[in-house]
Amino acid sequence: MPWRECNPMDERLKFIARLLDGEKMAGLCREFGISRKTGYKILTRYNEIGLEGLTDRSRRPYRHANQLPIQVEAQIVRLKKDKPSWGAPKIRERLSRLYPDVHTPAISTVHAVLDRHDLVKRRTRRRNRATGTALCAPSQPNDLWCADYKGEFMLADRRYCYPLTITDSASRYVFAFRQHGPTSVCPSSTTPSTTRASP
């Protein structure tokens, strides 16, 4: 059986119609799955406003307690347009000197106002990317050696091993292979084992 679609306006209308037919509030609220307080609120809105009272109301607050007065915001924008090189700290300082009796907004608030009016240029940060040393192409064996950690893997005794290899770049000959454990487990005084690879 498919789900029956319902919208809140229709449900409130059915609720009011059944209330007006003489049904009891408690039983109806239980059937519609709402509290009695909500049921009485719906009935009061219907009695005061009519059908318009059954529509969804905006949840937006009537006023914002910390909203910046329009005059202060306009003054911030005016100061920035007069002095384009000034930033939020300097504009805030100027506001506090011009209007000492008015509460001065925080630097972040001044910056938010400037940003809202597109008066702030965003700096693009350069990401520092690590670059390694470029390797030269070796012409013969022993011209260039490479040292490389090969990552980590778990040993049979559930400890991690970090292998280090030293190879010749031209011949790919492995000169040394050393296994290292984590620094918290293996103190620097222990000597790692070294294995020489055959050609």
The number of domains in the chain is: 3
Residues 149 and 191 reside in one and the same domain: yes
Any domain includes 17: yes
Any domain includes 107: yes
pLDDT of 183 reads 57
Q: What is the pTM of this model?
A: 0.38
pLDDT of 3 reads 65
Q: Which regions of the chain are under pLDDT 70?
A: 1-4, 182-199
pLDDT of 133 reads 75
The residue segments making up the domain with residue 77 are 70-116
Any domain includes 25: yes
Residues 161 and 188 reside in one and the same domain: yes
Any domain includes 130: no
Any domain includes 121: no
Residues 41 and 74 reside in one and the same domain: no
Residues 50 and 74 reside in one and the same domain: no
Residues 189 and 150 reside in one and the same domain: yes
What are the angstrom distances between the C-alpha of 36 and each of 8, 12, 85, 101, 146? 17, 13, 61, 50, 79
Any domain includes 136: no
What CATH number does the domain containing 97 carry?
A: 1.10.10
Any domain includes 129: no
Any domain includes 47: yes
pLDDT of 194 reads 45
DSSP string across the chain: -PPPP--HHHHHHHHHHHHHTT--HHHHHHHHT--HHHHHHHHHHHHHH-GGGGSPPP-S-S--TTPPPHHHHHHHHHHHHH-TT--HHHHHHHHHHH-TTSPPPPHHHHHHHHHHTT--PPPPPPPP---PPPPP--SSTTS-EEEEE---EE-TTS-EEEEEEEEETTT--EEEEEEE--TTTS-TTSPPPEEPPP-
